[in-house]
């Protein structure tokens, strides 16, 4: 038999529309699929995202097995392990889809050089974005874009690629398989409601896409800001681990859907993900440092009790608390309430956005190195194309506007179930009789606000304006 080739799976846990896997198939060589749980390069996944990944790995292994291949799993230093696997298997080529964190770029560059020195090949592909981040350049400045709208316009003008592939039913296996460690256990989900909501893996991703088009696509542009009910695609955790590609989503829109208001808006949300990775590449320290350097001297408050109340959904602001409890229950949070919760932490409480970013990283199923950091910096006002400093979400108005019946809020803050009208989002404004009839005693059944909105807003404006 000819020398085998290695496909190095990373954030691309799928067989369809996988450029690295497709290239390995086209080589006509025996294929060794590998997943390295890299402890030396890249940011370690948070608890919820790690559960998702481990569950998805088992789905991937099953899909490979039906095609005659075995997924090899090893844990440790990614660079050292891949070198060892190449020597152990005498692989001629290693195929992978590129990652864009600064240390994973360095790792891949070193591996590619080592392969070349040893008369072997390393071939990277664009597997989880439309474009490599260095491909889209501002022709006027010769530099990269710093604002989303012109960036996305340039992407659309370049022509979004749509290269889809389907692997054959049977593939060529090597004569001898290298040793594999057991796949990590996908134990009980860290959030109690996750199993009922999610099906990690490629089949789950395609099923979620179909459900979106069937149930939520029509009216998406108008309904996407409503957190009650299923009003978005909920594809973000599947995109996080590459169980579905942006190209597959784009192709699935089709000509009829893409040329509608709903289609353009939905595609632009995929564009925001693209922009986040673009920023991560051009600002490698984005998860740790403010893109606007002046914010590095910002006088964030050290307020551990307030931070803990926010994490637990005990701020006394119902829409904020519902959002944080949705996160704890489902491993997910609606995009509108992400902005509300993040604004509350950074503006009302003046707590460093990095504290929130780390908590979301730990708890979100879809937390990835680019989206998570970019979203937090946008809300805090210190990122690229960020919200202006004076944009401070009023959690009372936000609740009344986007959850007018309180459906979402009461789902995750059931102690407020008997309140009606505007006081759902400001229970401290309700009369004592209203609270009594609803079975609520403030600071007993439901917390009193940890800060007054008017006071917090004025404080934030003063501090941000001074900066």
393-415 pLDDT, tens per residue?
Answer: 999 999 999 999 999 999 999 99
Is residue 140 flagged as an active site residue?
A: no
**Which residue would you say has higher pLDDT here, 228 or 250?**
250
What pLDDT, on a 0 to 100 scale, did the predictor assign at position 313? Answer: 98
For the chain, what is the radius of gyration of the CA atoms? 24
196-227 burial code (b ≥16 CB/10 A, e <16): ebbbbbbebbbebbeebbeebbeebbebbbbb
Q: Is residue 306 within 8 Å of residue 447, measured between CB atoms? A: no
Q: Residue 3 pLDDT > 70, yes or no?
A: yes
Average pLDDT over residues 293-321: 97
Reported as a single tens digit per residue, the pLDDT across 417-440 is 999 999 999 999 999 999 999 999
**pLDDT > 90 in the chain, percent:** 94
The yes-or-no verdict on residue 46 having pLDDT over 70 is yes
On the CB side of 454, CA atoms within 13 Å amount to 1
Give the Cα separation of 422 and 405 in Å (integer): 9
Mean local confidence (pLDDT), 266-283:
97
Q: Tens of pLDDT along 175-185?
A: 999 999 999 98
Sign of CA dihedral 12, 330, 190, 65: negative
- Name the band, by pLDDT with cuts 50, 70 and 90, for residue 385: confident
pLDDT of 387 > 90? The answer is no
Side-chain-facing half-sphere of 463: CA atoms under 13 Å: 21
Q: CA 47 to CA 189: how far, in whole Å?
A: 9
- Pick the catalytic residue: 54, 114, 138, 300? 300
Q: Could you say which of 353, 359, 361, 378 is catalytic?
A: 353
CA distance 333 to 165: 32
**List of E strands, 57-92:** 72-76
Q: What percent of the chain has pLDDT over 70?
A: 100
Contact 148, 119 (CB under 8 A): no
Q: For residues 415 and 269, what is the distance between their CA atoms, to the nearest angstrom?
A: 34
Catalytic residue, candidates 54, 114, 269, 362 = 269
Domains located in the chain, CATH noted: 5-127 (3.40.50.620), 128-161+201-282 (1.25.40.80), 293-466 (1.10.579.10)
CB 391 within 8 A of CB 373: no
Across the range 229-247, mean pLDDT stands at 96
Angle of helix 202-215 versus helix 47-65 axis, rounded to 10: 110
Per the residue annotation, which of 54, 272, 362, 428 is the catalytic one? Answer: 272
Active-site residue, 300 included: yes
The H or E element that residue 194 is part of is helix 194-197
Per-residue pLDDT band at 196 (split at 50, 70, 90):
confident
Strands 72-76 and 5-9: unpaired
Q: Within the chain, what is the greatest distance between any pair of CA atoms?
A: 83
What's the pTM? 0.96
Which neighbouring-strand residues pair with 121?
A: 93
Contacts of 150 (CB under 8 A, 6+ apart): 138
> Phi-psi category of 463—alpha, beta or left, where left has phi over 0 and alpha has psi -120 to 50?
alpha
Contact 74, 180 (CB under 8 A): yes
Q: How far apart are CA 380 and CA 347, in angstroms?
A: 7
Phi, psi angle pair for 220, to nearest 5°: -55, -45
Q: Is 376 a catalytic residue?
A: yes
- The arithmetic mean of pLDDT across residues 254-275, rounded, is 96
Active site residue 335: yes
Q: Write the CB contacts of 383 (distance below 8 Å, at least 6 apart in sequence).
A: 279, 286, 290, 291, 292, 374, 376, 377
Task: Name the catalytic one among 198, 376, 378, 394.
Answer: 376
What is the side-by-side order of every strand in the sheet holding 5-9? 72-76, 31-38, 5-9, 93-97, 121-125
- Mean pLDDT of all residues in 320-334: 97
How many CA atoms are closer than 13 Å to the CA of 235, on its beta-carbon side? Answer: 29
**pLDDT tens-digit profile of 110-122?**
999 999 999 999 9
109 contacts: CB under 8 Å, gap ≥ 6: none
152 a catalytic residue = no
Half-sphere exposure of 171 (CA within 13 A, CB side): 30
Q: Band of the pLDDT at 384, cuts 50, 70, 90?
A: confident
Which of these ranges, 8-12, 138-142, 281-285, 335-339, has the smallest mean pLDDT?
138-142
Q: Give the Cα separation of 454 and 213 in Å (integer).
A: 42
- Reported confidence tier of residue 22, pLDDT bands at 50, 70, 90: very high
Q: What is the mean pLDDT of the chain?
A: 96
**Which residue in 335, 362, 418, 428 is the catalytic one?**
335
pLDDT at 1: 59
Residue 446 DSSP class? B
> How far apart are alpha carbons 125 and 93 in whole angstroms?
13
3-state secondary structure of 448: coil
Residues in the chain: 467
């Amino acid at each position: 038999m000819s020398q085998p080739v290695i496909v190095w799976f990373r954030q691309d846990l799928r067989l369809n529309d996988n450029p690295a896997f497709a290239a390995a198939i086209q080589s006509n060589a025996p294929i060794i699929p590998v997943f390295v749980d890299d402890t030396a390069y890249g940011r370690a996944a948070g608890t919820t995202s790690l559960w998702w990944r481990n569950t998805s790995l088992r789905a991937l292994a099953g899909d490979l097995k039906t095609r005659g291949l075995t997924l090899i799993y090893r844990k440790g230093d990614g660079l050292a392990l891949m070198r060892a696997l190449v020597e152990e298997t005498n692989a001629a080529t290693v195929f992978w889809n590129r990652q864009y964190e600064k240390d994973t770029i360095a790792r891949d560059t070193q591996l590619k050089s080592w392969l070349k020195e040893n008369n072997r090949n390393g071939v990277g592909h664009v597997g989880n974005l439309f474009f490599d981040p260095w491909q889209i350049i501002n022709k006027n400045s010769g530099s990269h874009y710093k604002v989303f709208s012109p960036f996305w316009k340039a992407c659309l003008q370049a022509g979004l690629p749509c290269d889809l592939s389907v692997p054959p039913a049977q593939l060529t296996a090597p004569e001898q398989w290298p040793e594999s460690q057991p796949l990590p256990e996908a134990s009980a989900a860290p959030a109690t409601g996750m199993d009922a909501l999610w099906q990690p893996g490629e089949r789950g991703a395609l099923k979620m896409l179909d459900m979106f088009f069937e149930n939520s696509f029509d009216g998406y542009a108008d309904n996407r800001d409503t957190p009650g009910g299923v009003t978005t695609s909920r594809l973000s955790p599947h995109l996080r681990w590459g169980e579905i590609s942006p190209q597959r989503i784009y192709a699935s829109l089709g000509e009829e859907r893409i040329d509608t208001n709903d289609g353009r808006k939905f595609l632009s949300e995929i564009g925001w993900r693209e922009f986040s990775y673009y920023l991560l590449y051009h600002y490698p320290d984005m998860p740790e440092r403010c893109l606007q350097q002046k914010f590095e001297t910002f006088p964030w408050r050290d307020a551990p009790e307030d931070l803990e109340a926010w994490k637990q959904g005990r701020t006394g602001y119902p829409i904020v608390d519902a959002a944080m409890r949705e996160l704890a229950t489902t491993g997910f949070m609606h995009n509108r309430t992400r902005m509300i919760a993040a604004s509350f932490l950074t503006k009302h409480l003046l707590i460093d956005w990095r504290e929130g970013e780390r908590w979301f990283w730990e708890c979100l199923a879809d937390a990835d190195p680019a989206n998570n950091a970019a979203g937090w910096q946008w809300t805090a006002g210190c990122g690229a194309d960020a919200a202006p400093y004076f944009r401070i979400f009023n959690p009372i108005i936000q609740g009344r506007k986007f959850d007018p019946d309180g459906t979402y809020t009461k789902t995750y803050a059931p102690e407020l179930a008997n309140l009606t009208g505007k006081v759902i989002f400001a229970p401290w404004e309700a009369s004592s009789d209203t609270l009594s009839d609803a079975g609520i005693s403030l600071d007993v059944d439901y917390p009193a606000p940890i800060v007054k909105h008017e006071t917090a807003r004025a404080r934030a404006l003063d501090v941000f304006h001074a900066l």
